[in-house]
Each structure stands twice: as C-alpha cells, then as structure tokens.
Amino acid sequence: MIDKIRRLPAYARWATYATIGVLILTLVQELGQNQTSHLTATSTAQTALKWSIPILLAGLGGLFAERAGIINIGLEGMMILGTWFGAWGAFNYGPYWGIVIGAIGGAIGGLIHAIATVGFGVDHIISGVAINILGPFAARFLSSEVFTGYQGGSVTQSPRVENVDKFTMPFLAGGYETPNFLKWLGDKEIPLLSDIGNILRGILTQTSWATIIALLLVPISAYVLWKTRFGLRVRISGEDPWAGESQGVNIYRYKFIAVMISGAFAGFGGAFISIEMSSIYQEGGTTGRGFIGLAALIFGNWRPGGILAAALLFGYPYALQFGDFDGFASHALLLVNAIALFGVVIWALRNDKRTDAAIAFVLGSLSAIWYFVSDTVPDWWVKILPYVIVIVVLIFFAQRLRMPAANGQIYRRGQT
Amino acid sequence: MTNAIELIGITKRFPGVLANDNVNLTVKEGEIHAVCGENGAGKSTLMKILYGMQPADEGVMRLFGRELSFSSPNDAIDAGIGMVHQHFMLANQLTVLENVILGAEPTKSAGLINFDEASSHLEEVGKAYGLTVDPNDLVETLEVGERQRVEIIKVLYRGAKVLIFDEPTAVLVPQEVEELFRNMRELKANGATIIFIDHKLEEVLEIADTITVLRQGKTVATVKPQNVTATDLAELMVGSELPKPQISESSNNNTIALALEEVSVLGDDERPLVDDVSLSVNKGQIVGIAGVEGNGQHELVGAILGTQEIDSGSISLMGEDISNQSVRDRRESGLGYVPQDRQDEGLLLTAPLWENAALGHQTLRPFSNGWRQWFIDKVGSRSQTEMIREKFDVRTPNIDVSAHALSGGNQQKLIVGREMVAQPSVLVASHPTRGIDVGAQASVWQQIRDARSAGLATLLISADLDELIGLSDSIVVMFRGKIVARLNPSEINPRSLGAFMTGAALETES
C-alpha cells in the first residue's frame, strides 16, 4: 500500500498522508479514556498552523542554503534580526512593510554568512554560530538606540504593532457572509469527516495573509529549485560545485544568492513572530525556532513538502496546549505517539529491520503504558515533544535521508 | 589541414614549481593528438590553461588561427573547446539530462527550463555520434562506462569542436577502453578534433595520429606513432628506461599468515557485498585481488581490517582468529594497511609529518610510552619519523611540515614507510601506487618486493593490471562480491584478466 501511495501525484500523496494523520487523531478520540475533542478542534488547527509558520519559514530558509551546499546554523540569529526589523518596520510603515523589512533584516544576516563562508571560505558552523551570537546582541543594541525613544518601547521590547489583514474562505468557512459548509460538517459529529471539516475550517478561517504567503512559498520553492535554471545551478552548487564550475557556472554567485534568500526567509519567519504572533518585538521571542526549522529541514529530507509536514508536526503540540484546560488532549498525545510507533513497528518488520522494530515496540509500549496509568501529563512533556519526534525520526529514518552531496564543504574556485 | 590549436611558448609558474616551461603544441583539425608524459610532467596544467581554468603566465593560444585568451571555462566552451574530465564531473543525485544541460540550459520565459527541448537536443547529439543514454536516469545508477558517455555527450551538447580527454582510460577496464576508442574514432570521423592525455603507451600508440611528449614541463618531442615503439616513447617520457613491476623467484615458505574462510558481508539491503570468500596468503607471498571497482574489494579490505562487520565466516592472522577483534587489536597483532585514498584515509593533511607517521601505531613504542602507552613520546616519534624519511626517501624540508605540503608520491612513500617499519606480518595494500609518478611507483614496488623477500605476506588490491600481474605470486578475481577466478600471473595478460573482471570470460565458459 505504501508503494501505491508513493506513486500518486504530489497533492494526492500529501492529502493521503494528512488523512492518515487525522484518522489516528479520530481513533484516539474514539478509543481514549477522556473527552479529547480538542485534538481536532477548529481552534487547535488554527493555532497549530500559525505556530508552524515560523518553523516552516526557517526550514525553507535552510533549504535554499543547504541545497547550495552552505550549512546555515545561523538561521536562529537571522530570525532574531527578522523579529527586530519586522517590528521596527511594522511600527513605522505598517505590517506589510514590516514583513518586507524583516526579511531584509534576515537577508543582512544571510549576507554576512555568505561573505564569510562563500567569500572567505570560513567553516560554515563557525560562521553560523557567530551569527547566532551576533543576532541577539545586534537586536538589543538597536532596541536601546531606537525603541527606548518610543512610547511603550524598551531595550527588550518594541511598542505594539498591527497585524496583517485576515482572510476567511467564502462558502467553505463562511467568509464574506456566505454559508459555512465546514462548520455544518463539523457540527454533524461524524467520525473522521467532521474532524477533517473542523481542521480545514481552522485553516481557512481568519487566516493571515502572511500565513498564506508563507504557505505559497512551499510550492514556489519547489518550482524554483527543480524547474528553473537558477534552481538547477543552486542545486549543482550543493551537489558537486566542481562539476558546475567545469561547465562554466559561477558557483560563488549562486551560493551567495541562495544564502541571502535563506536569510530573507528566516527574517520573514522572525517578522511573522513579531507581527502576527506577539504583536510586539520581544527579546528572546524566537525561542529557538530557528533551530527547530533546521530540524524540520532534516526531517523533511531537504524537500519543501517534507519541511511543511515537519513544521506542522512540530507546531501541533505547541498549539494543543492552548485551551487544553483539563490537560486531556496533551495526555492523549501519548496514545497518538504509541500508535505512530506501532506503525513504525509494522514498517520495520516489513523491511526486515528487527532491531528497529524492537526499539519502536518498546518505546510505543512505554508510551501506551504511560497513557493508561495516568490521567494527565506534566506540561514539559508537550514542550519536549518536538525534540523527541526529531530524535525518534533520526533513529529510524536517518539512513533514508539524503542531504546534498557537497553540503558543508568549503568550495574554492579552481581547486578540485 | 588547418591547425585547430596552436599553443606557443606557454609558461606557467606555481610557487616553487615551473609547471609549464615554454611548451609548444600544434594540433591539426580532425586528428587525435596524444599528449603524454609522467605524472607531474605538466600535462594537466597545460590542459587547464587550454580550458580556461587557469591563466598562463606567458605564451600565445590560437584556435583555428585566431588568437584567444580565456578567463574561465565558459570562454573556452564558447570557443568550442570541451573537456572530458578524468574524475567525472557529474553530480550523482542529478539526472543525466540535468548534468548535461547545466550551464547551457534552454529556457522558456522567467528562467524556466525547457526540459522537452533539452532532451530532444540531447537525443539528437547522442544519435549523431552513436552515444546512447537515458536522459532521465540518475547518474548514481550508471556504470563507469555509461558515466563516461554522459561526460562526452555533455561536451558535445555544448557544441565542442575540440575535445580534451584527460586520462579517460584510467577508470576503465580493457573492454570499456575499446568501446571508448570506437567512440573516439566515430567522433573523429564526424570532424571533431581530439586531444588525448594519457601515459599508457600501448593505448597512445593505438589511437593517436600524432604524439607530443612532455617531460618536466617542457615539450620533448612530437612524433608519429608509426615511427616509434613503446620503448622509445617511454624513454622520451622518463628520460631513461622505464621501471617495471617484477618479482624474483618465489620466496613462498608455506606458513599461512592471513586466512579468510567463507567470509560474507551483507549490505544495507541484505544483498551480499562480499559473498563467501575464502583465501589465504602465505608468508613471503603476494596475493593480488583484481576486479572492477565496486565488486566488493573495498568491503573485503574493511572486513580484514575490522572496519566492516562480517556477517559470517572467519578471519585469522598468523593462526589466531581475529574475526571478533577490534581494529586496534588487529593492528597491534601485526596487520599493516596502506589505504586506497591516502588523503582521506591515510593522512591527517593539516598535521605535521611526525604525527602522521604515528597514525595507526600510536599505541606502540616508540610513538608512545608510560602507563598503558597513554602518553605520546614526542622524541621517539620524531626520531622514528626521521628514520622513515631517510630509509624511504620521503622528500621534505623537515618533519614538521604538514602532510598536504608533500607531493602525492612522497605522501605515499611516508605511508608505506610507516607501515613497513612497524614490521607487520601481513600487509593489506590497497592501490599502493595510484596516482603517483614513475619514480615513486618504482620505490613503492621495491619496498613491497624487499618486504616479500623478508617474509611479509601481502594482499595487493590494484586497478593497475600490469602492477597486479607483475607483482603478484597469485591473483584472485572478484566479481559481484565473489571470487570468480584464481589465476597464475605468469599465464595471463591484462586483456585476459580484464575479461575475467567484467565477467565476460565466465559467461563464455559456463
């Protein structure tokens, strides 16, 4: 069956994966001990999408850099620059310009990384770490110079800024005073179908244009990287720059541009945090999402669709905490976890990987036992979940991941 | 016939080296012109200049009578020069089509690649010269010969009229070489001009219309193949007689030093990479392993060394079962190893020579001392390194320079010396003379021969068939992980060995 799904066209394949995901959530609601409709509630989907966007943007940023062969561990620092410049731009010129200026702020970080790694051949990790140190200090310095002069601003935060406009889908989600089909479907309380209705409604209701633009960047990135001349040359820079050079491609140029795009995407992600999520620049507002974006890049196997899936997966547990007053939904994630791990057991057995199957079985059983002997989970559980997912995925699927062949290597023209 | 290329008085200096010294080369249109010389004779530098990868310091280049100067490969490509690289310049994860069109992508609006136009153009080019490949295959799925075809098509796709082949036969077995030569003659018949870089003399004599010989950066002679013999060419190249791999009478003393019994190694997909291999090496014996790269030799070496887990079978060293020992234990009990890639596996390029000399022997005197040999003995290490330097003729200003400052041949001599002075009972030598010049090659051969007389058991893996046949007391051929033939080197030649390596001889026999 897995092979059949793999052969579907991209949109159908992803729709199938998403449906399987929702099916697991439905099963948990039906089988679980407690009332956990919060798992597939409209508000959960809405928040999850929002929380996923910065991770997605950081991941896509990482994609451009690493497809060009430059490891960008400085995404976090570039994102921080994005939060500051985004807020500053939004405060002075409105939220749309805020996003543009935030992206430019991130691109400045990308420029520094490009000059160091591409221009001078500095080790990518060293340069990235330097940018991660530089980012927060630059933001604080700028705040002390600029925001302290504003009403409501200080060295650690900006004044409030406006959000980008929102969009609600007509007919499906009842935008522009049209009928609300998905709400009707959700209220029917049919297993699976209503859950899908609720989730889609969450995605299509009151969606920020910034979110829509970020989501559009997924197919656009795929298109640019795999269908255009620019994309081919970026990819050769990451796969085998010497081959590209021998055919007259100016590798430096493509690496440079790709790293700046990378910074701009991370900056957009940072601006999204300031403008859309907190309506304010706050020191430390990124909370390490640049790094989670990097994890999403690996999890997503250096492909845009995979990065989106990973971002949603990482964003979901965060979103679940909001409005989960009794803690039952977070608790139910243990069962979701267990089901997913038992799925891995089946996959591993079919591929004759007995060790993997055994490990997955033990982890899945532990998760299930924890679920059945308790009623709530401590709140750190949900916080560490994204990291747990990353570790589990790396344990079982690391061999299937394929990063660009020359990723992280220092390229110098004329030296083969 | 007009002159396709004229290089007049080309000079190129690198820090401390005169790579090209007033080189002259005239290539006529529509001929196959061989440029030969030893490693380091300046062939590659000359071609890099011609292909725009490096600028010449002095000299004039003319292409079809027009004086040109290139600042990048792009200029050379535009002028109609194409290079078929020795190390394939192909990205494995990209398709054949993507690799071919790179740098000259046909586009629709907005930089969008017109893949239809590209693949039909590729097909035309392929048909015109009788070269077929599937444009949608990933390069990593192709075999060596096919990859080379892609390299050639890549150059033709860009409309090259002059093709430079940089040691194209280095990676091929004899049968594939024939195929390549057919392709080259086809290209010539279609009006292409070919520059063929090589140092294998029989090949040069077979294919070339004109031969130019370089030695130490200078042009020594331009000759016609019908007027010279291989020996003449060799003497032109080296300036003296060419050394040959050869061993004296048998020094075999019937004590088994290394024995493998039914050793199998499985890959990630559970397919055997090494399949039920049994072989033994006696003291004072050299056993050669022949095989096209990727037929399990690498894994076999790993299994002996301990870096590759074996799934069944056993390995013993001097009668002791070492199948479950760690690499460290195996090395300490007398296993020497010359890795196939000296820069990747053999040396720490940025570390000084004396540290490199300790690698693999760091837990033994004189490289370390104290409680459980925990401390590095700098004095002992340095004097040992000085000894290696003298005895093995490693040419270096001192032993504190880092390893990347040494030429390939001297790096290799350091590695061989390092293994030999430890007086191993078994030596595994993987491509011990790959990519080094004739002088260093002769010296490495001499070391292996001397050690053989002293009773060393050697397992020799090499792609150089002359070396294998010349040095080995017996040869086994690996094909798809199995040993498919055990041959006596005195009864075979490179051609017949090549037939075993590709499996061709097996099919006709069975």
CB contact under 8 A, B99 and A243: yes
Hey, is the C-beta of B110 within 8 angstroms of any chain A C-beta?
yes
Give B68-78 pLDDT, tens digit per residue.
888 888 888 88
- Residues of B with CB below 8 A from A414's CB? 53-54
Identify the pLDDT of residue B457: 92
Hey, is the C-beta of B344 within 8 angstroms of any chain A C-beta?
no
Q: What is the CA radius of gyration of chain A?
A: 22
Give A80-130 pLDDT, tens digit per residue.
999 999 999 999 999 999 999 999 999 999 999 999 999 999 999 999 999
Q: Which of B54, B73, B113 is the closest to A248 by Cβ?
A: B73
Give percent of chain A above pLDDT 70: 99
Both tokens assigned to B360: 């693999």
Q: Which SS3 state, helix, strand or coil, does residue B394 take?
A: coil
- Residues of A with CB below 8 A from B99's CB? 243
Distance CA B104, CA A224 (A): 17
What angle, rounded to 10 degrees, do the helices at A42-67 and A209-227 form? 30
Give A42-74 pLDDT, tens digit per residue.
889 999 999 999 999 999 999 999 999 999 999
**Best of B49, B74, B89, B100 to mutate (most A CBs within 10 Å, chain A):** B89
Give percent of chain B above pLDDT 90: 28
- Residues of A with CB below 8 A from B94's CB? 232, 235-236, 239
> Is there a contact between A57 and A266 (Cβ–Cβ < 8 Å)?
yes
CB contact under 8 A, A232 and B113: yes
Q: Which of A229, A243, A414 is the closest to B111 by Cβ?
A: A229
- How large is the average pLDDT for residues B230-246? 70
Identify the pLDDT of residue B125: 87
Hey, is the C-beta of B154 within 8 angstroms of any chain A C-beta?
yes
Give A179-207 pLDDT, tens digit per residue.
888 888 888 888 888 888 889 998 998 89
- Choose among A8, A38, A106: nearest CA to A336: A38
Hey, is the C-beta of A225 within 8 angstroms of any chain B C-beta?
no
CB contact under 8 A, B93 and A233: no
Which CATH number applies to B3-238?
3.40.50.300
CB contact under 8 A, A230 and B110: no
Q: Reply yes or no on whether the pLDDT at A149 is more than 80.
A: yes
CB contact under 8 A, B103 and A402: no
Q: What is the CA radius of gyration of chain B?
A: 25
The residue with greater pLDDT, B219 or A102, is A102
Q: How sure is the predictor about B300, in pLDDT bands with cuts at 50, 70 and 90?
A: very high
Hey, is the C-beta of B53 within 8 angstroms of any chain A C-beta?
yes
CB contact under 8 A, B102 and A402: no
- Choose among A224, A250, A246, A229: nearest CA to A118: A250
Q: What amino acid occupies position A228? A: T
Most distant pair of Cα atoms in chain B: their distance? 77
Identify the pLDDT of residue B39: 67
Q: Could you identify the residue written with the tokens 């007995």?
A: A354
Q: Which of B93, B98, B102 is the closest to A249 by Cβ?
A: B102
Backbone phi, then psi, for B28, in 5-degree steps?
A: -80, 155
- Choose among A1, A100, A113: nearest CA to A66: A113
- Residues of B with CB below 8 A from A248's CB? 72-74, 77, 103
Q: Which of B102, B154, B270 is the closest to A236 by Cβ?
A: B102
Q: Could you identify the residue written with the tokens 């190694």?
A: B265
Min Cα distance B89 → chain A (Å) is 4
Q: Reply yes or no on whether the pLDDT at A296 is more than 80.
A: yes
Identify the pLDDT of residue B15: 66
Give B133-186 pLDDT, tens digit per residue.
889 999 988 888 888 889 999 988 988 899 999 888 877 777 888 888 988 998
Hey, is the C-beta of B103 within 8 angstroms of any chain A C-beta?
yes
Identify the pLDDT of residue B509: 47
Give B306-355 pLDDT, tens digit per residue.
998 899 999 999 989 998 899 999 998 899 999 988 888 889 988 899 99
- Choose among A296, A317, A294, A318: nearest CA to A307: A296
Q: How sure is the predictor about B510, in pLDDT bands with cuts at 50, 70 and 90?
A: very low
Q: Reply yes or no on whether the pLDDT at B502 is more than 80.
A: no
Bridge partner residues of B25 (DSSP)? B7
Nearest Cα residue in chain A from B106: A229
- Residues of A with CB below 8 A from B104's CB? 247
The residue with greater pLDDT, A341 or A385, is A341
Mean pLDDT of chain B: 86
Kindly give the pairing relationship between strand B368-369 and strand B375-376.
Answer: antiparallel
Mean pLDDT of chain A: 90
Hey, is the C-beta of B270 within 8 angstroms of any chain A C-beta?
yes
Which CATH number applies to B243-334+425-510?
3.40.50.300
CA angle (A402, A258, A54) in 5-degree steps: 75
- How large is the average pLDDT for residues B55-59? 89
Half-sphere exposure of B342 (CA within 13 A, CB side): 25
Contacts of A353 (CB under 8 A, 6+ apart): none
Identify the pLDDT of residue B144: 80
CB contact under 8 A, A399 and B268: yes
Hey, is the C-beta of A227 within 8 angstroms of any chain B C-beta?
yes
Identify the pLDDT of residue B386: 93
CB contact under 8 A, A248 and B268: no
- Residues of A with CB below 8 A from B111's CB? 228-230
**Best of B90, B93, B269, B404 to mutate (most A CBs within 10 Å, chain A):** B93
- How large is the average pLDDT for residues A325-349? 87
- Count, residues in chain A: 416
Min Cα distance A372 → chain B (Å) is 37
CB contact under 8 A, A247 and B111: no
Every domain of chain B with CATH number 3.40.50.300 lies at 3-238, 243-334+425-510
Give B453-486 pLDDT, tens digit per residue.
888 999 999 888 888 888 999 999 998 889 998 9
CB contact under 8 A, A233 and B110: no
CB contact under 8 A, A405 and B91: yes
Min Cα distance B324 → chain A (Å) is 21
Q: Reply yes or no on whether the pLDDT at B242 is more than 60.
A: no
Hey, is the C-beta of A67 within 8 angstroms of any chain B C-beta?
no
A·B CB contacts under 8 A: 74
Hey, is the C-beta of B350 within 8 angstroms of any chain A C-beta?
no
CB contact under 8 A, A247 and B102: yes
Nearest Cα residue in chain A from B113: A228
- Residues of A with CB below 8 A from B87's CB? 416
Q: How far is CA B332 from CA B339, B355, B371, B424, B455, in A?
A: 17, 18, 17, 9, 18
Q: Is residue A179 reached through a cis peptide bond, with omega within 30 degrees of 0 on the bond before it?
A: no
Min Cα distance B333 → chain A (Å) is 33
CB contact under 8 A, A404 and B102: no
Identify the pLDDT of residue B453: 87
Q: Which of A243, A402, A414 is the closest to B53 by Cβ?
A: A414
Nearest Cα residue in chain A from B82: A247
CB contact under 8 A, A246 and B73: yes
Min Cα distance A126 → chain B (Å) is 18
- Residues of B with CB below 8 A from A229's CB? 105, 107, 111-113
Nearest Cα residue in chain A from B108: A228
CB contact under 8 A, B94 and A236: yes
Q: Which of B101, B104, B113 is the closest to A227 by Cβ?
A: B113
Identify the pLDDT of residue B109: 82
Q: Reply yes or no on whether the pLDDT at A415 is more than 70.
A: no
Hey, is the C-beta of B79 within 8 angstroms of any chain A C-beta?
no
Give A357-368 pLDDT, tens digit per residue.
999 999 999 999
Among A335-344, B237-246, B373-382, which is the least confidently predicted range? B237-246
Identify the pLDDT of residue B507: 56
- Name the pTM for this structure: 0.77
Backbone phi, then psi, for B166, in 5-degree steps?
A: -95, 105
